[in-house]
Structure 1
Amino acid sequence: MKRIYLYSLILFLASFYSNVKAQKNSSKTFSFVLGSWEMQTPKGKIVEQWIQGADKIMKGKSYRVSIKGDSILTETLQIRKTGKDVFYCSTVAHQNEGKEVCFKLISTKDRIYIFENAAHDFPQRIVYQNLGKNEMLAWIEGELNGKSRKSEFRYKRQ
């Protein structure tokens, strides 16, 4: 029984340390997103572009590009530290009255970064997974109208 308690304590502390480390140096932790990413879809592609701002805020934009090449900005993004916490903030065109919605970083394990806002209608979680230099998986998940939903975005570096 003591071993189970000890292992549980070690796992908890390791998880806590990982979250603290990510929150202390968020610009290094999330540097894998920097650059331009794209995902092909039947209607064209989705492009996500990230830069490091001088203020240590990661700034991103997401576009939909049609097969004809027309692009439309769908959202502006930020990953920023506020106090001791890190937030993923999104302003989506034609949603939330143009107001920014933020999701708090709750987990950083195995190169998977989970941001959550349980009070948001959908999604309640935004997740990024670092798959290496040229691939990144992102997904949104939560409940909508009482049903569990998840949408994945498998990006390749441009």
Structure 2
Amino acid sequence: MKRIYLFRNTTLLMLAVSCNTQPTAESKNVYAPILKRAQWILGSWTQTVDEAVTTENWTKLSDSVFAGESFTVVRGDTVFYESVTFSQKVKDAFYNVSLRNEKPPAPVSFQLTSQDDSMLVFENKKHDYPTKISYRKITQDSIFAEISGLVNGTEKKQGFPLKRLPALK
């Protein structure tokens, strides 16, 4: 009888230990720091140049996806609009851009190539223009976005100094 109890207890212990599996890197999302380090981009940002008001809004959809939109309004008309996702897939992150009037809608993907606590750099060398998109945190209330790449063999850059809009209550 002692052998049966010993066998049963040993079997139950082995079963309990084998069922207590450790989470994998994907289930623990150990790569979450990619987006976590970029939370400074969340919120609403704006730039006004002459009559053009450009606004960029970023929200956190989940631990692995930020959603953004950027639009420019001139005298009440929206002259530019794009939607963006900044998403993390295991240890890689991507900036996917879709333009509103593009037919058929085909998002362009830029891979995160560099990041620190105040800078994000995304690149897609196969895209015509831009091939690089970057964001730099200047202060808590100021960022600088830039697009760049070659146009007819010449390096072109366009910068967007953006100020944080106050949060709506």
Which TM-score band (shorter chain)? Answer: 0.7 to 0.9
Gaps of 5+ in 1: 1-22
* Amino acid in structure 2 at the alignment position of 1:43: E
Q: Does 1:115 align with 2:113?
A: no
Aligned-residue identity in percent:
30
Give the TM-score, by structure 2 length. Answer: 0.73
Q: How many pairs were matched up?
A: 136
Kept in 1: contact 2:58–2:69 (CA 8 A): yes
Q: Per-residue deviation at 1:93? A: 2.7
Paired with 1:90 and 1:77, the residues of 2 have a C-alpha distance of: 5
Gaps of 5+ in 2: 1-30
Q: Per-residue deviation at 1:152? A: 0.2
Q: Per-residue deviation at 1:27? A: 2.6
* Amino acid in structure 1 at the alignment position of 2:112: L
Kept in 2: contact 1:26–1:80 (CA 8 A): no
Q: Equivalent residue for 1:58?
A: 66
Paired with 1:156 and 1:96, the residues of 2 have a C-alpha distance of: 32
43-52 or 69-78: bigger deviation: 69-78
Q: Does 1:78 align with 2:85?
A: yes
Paired with 2:144 and 2:157, the residues of 1 have a C-alpha distance of: 13
* Amino acid in structure 2 at the alignment position of 1:155: L
Paired with 1:97 and 1:150, the residues of 2 have a C-alpha distance of: 27
Q: Which of these residues, 47, 53, 56, is aligned with residue 45 of structure 1?
A: 53
Q: Equivalent residue for 1:13?
A: none
Kept in 2: contact 1:128–1:136 (CA 8 A): yes
Deviations 1:108-140 (Å, cap 9, x if unpaired)?
146221100000000000000011210000000
- SS of residue paired to 2:59: strand
Q: Decide which structure has the larger Cα Rg and report it.
A: 2
Q: Does 1:34 align with 2:62?
A: no
CA RMSD of aligned residues (A): 2.1
* Amino acid in structure 2 at the alignment position of 1:153: F
Paired with 1:125 and 1:117, the residues of 2 have a C-alpha distance of: 6
Instruction: Write out the 4+ residue segments of structure 1 that deviate beyond 4 Å after TM superposition.
Output: none
Distance 1:87 1:144, change over 3 A: same
Kept in 1: contact 2:37–2:117 (CA 8 A): no
